Structure 1
Amino acid sequence: MDFTLKQDDSSVWRLTRIYGFHEEGIKHETWKLLENLGEGNVSPWLCFGDFNCTLMHCEKQGGNPKNQNEIDGFRESMNNCHLRDLHFVGPSFTWSNNRADDENIQERLDRFVATEDWIKLFPCSMVEHLPRRKKKKKRRRGFKFEKEWLRDDEYGNIISEAWNLDPDSNVKQKIEACSARLRSWSSNKSIDFTEEIKCRRERMAALMNLEPTDDNIAEMKEIDKEIDELEGREEAY
């Protein structure tokens, strides 16, 4: 994706999303792509995405050392495009193979980079690495039945009232009426999803700073599942 954006003050800047080649033999194609995009560029420019490569050896933990030629090629491409790496707060790595102990590998593959004039245009910009270990999947928004509703004494009455609201309606219309009533009712009784998700992310951040033992990896996977579930329920509400 490559966009030109215009601010309210009429200043113009460029935004590009990158997804780098992950195959070892053709990673140089990523720097070629970057340089082709940067050729002749005169606008403040921000690039972001999964570059699938690192700028320093310290951006990888575990496994075989990074190929120095790969690092040098990425740096050279960045310099040719006049791009600077934007520093970040949060976990040091953005990818993990989710294995434990000596088999664990973590890398900083995702980043934001920008030209000096973009940095001057947005001097307070900050990159934050969220304590999340896998990509968030897009979901289709729709009705979702929650098993917790069965424990509530009001549930049966809600269904009964909605089903009998219009005697002339067909089964499809009755089901739609029930789902609408349940959605409205549940929104007033729902838990604070934001707080629940925040608590799990804080725990994830703490675990990511610990040794990648079997127990810690297992807990991180479980937290990922819990966050997925909470985000899905939040969207359903």
Structure 2
Amino acid sequence: MKYLEWRINGFLEAVNFCRFFDLGYNGNRFTWERCRNTQNWVLERLNRALATRDWQNNFPNAKVFPVESASSDHAGIFLTLGVNVICYAAKPFWFENFWMKEIDIKQAVQTTWEHGKGQPIAEMIKSCVAYLLEWGKNKKQQFKAKLKQAKAQMTRYRNSSNPYHLQSFNSAKEAHLQALEQQNIYWKQRAKQHG
């Protein structure tokens, strides 16, 4: 038996022994592609989330989603348990690193700072923080909307070879990569805070 077949069979035996099953997928069913828009175009689903029936009974709302990457042709997967977490602690202010990718960040800070001139420095900072929290909340919603819109447009034109559709797909992909970059910065900052 070839080495690769031996490894695959061993993995399948372990999956069967543990009585794992595939949780399925939401969204684009392929997690890897190569040679887009050529005769050699390959689409594969490489990643899978496996679980037992007992686990599924404990987390009946669990779902698996693809996670697009800005730097790879391989999409990871994200498992959400569908469980609501309640947090009662007040959220402290921190400057979001992804804001630096926004073209109007400098204007937002300057406008708020100018508005508070003449007040004690503590009040100016408090006013600036309040404004940036609201401004940042709107920016976060906008980049999530950009990501969703770009994904929808990419899905619409993904399998078309029409030149107009290819141009639309490439524009959407560029917008998607920019939004993914902001999202990556956002999550990197969180990983540092909680790591």
Normalising by the smaller structure, the TM-score range is 0.5 to 0.7
Higher strand share: 1
User: How far has the Cα of 1:159 moved from its partner?
Assistant: 2.9
Larger Rg computed on CA atoms: 1
Is 2:163 the partner of 1:226? no
Give the fraction of aligned pairs with identical amino acids, expressed as a percent. 18
User: How far has the Cα of 1:79 moved from its partner?
Assistant: 1.0
Alpha-carbon RMSD: 4.6
Is 2:26 the partner of 1:89? yes
User: How far has the Cα of 1:113 moved from its partner?
Assistant: 0.8
User: How far has the Cα of 1:148 moved from its partner?
Assistant: 3.1
Is 2:32 the partner of 1:76? no
- Deviation track 1:102-141 (CA, whole Å, cap 9, x = no partner) reads 454332122111123323444x4453434735569xxx96
Give aligned pairs, total. Answer: 160
Query: Are the counterparts in 1 of residues 154 and 173 from structure 2 also a CA contact under 8 Å?
Result: no
What does residue 186 of structure 1 align with? Answer: 135
Q: Which runs of 5+ in 2 are unaligned?
A: 77-93, 190-195
What does residue 151 of structure 2 align with? Answer: 201
SS of the residue aligned with 1:109?
A: coil
Query: Are the counterparts in 2 of residues 89 and 127 from structure 1 also a CA contact under 8 Å?
Result: yes
| TM-score (normalised: structure 2) | 0.53
- In structure 2, the CA distance between the partners of 1:133 and 1:96, relative to structure 1 (3 Å rule), is farther
- In structure 2, the CA distance between the partners of 1:147 and 1:215, relative to structure 1 (3 Å rule), is closer
Inter-partner Cα distance in structure 2 for 1:111 and 1:184: 38
Q: Which runs of 5+ in 1 are unaligned?
A: 1-24, 29-66
What does residue 7 of structure 1 align with? Answer: none
What does residue 159 of structure 1 align with? Answer: 113
Query: Are the counterparts in 1 of residues 32 and 43 from structure 2 also a CA contact under 8 Å?
Result: yes
| TM-score (normalised: structure 1) | 0.46
- Deviation track 1:171-218 (CA, whole Å, cap 9, x = no partner) reads xx899678536514635865842433322222233344446x975774
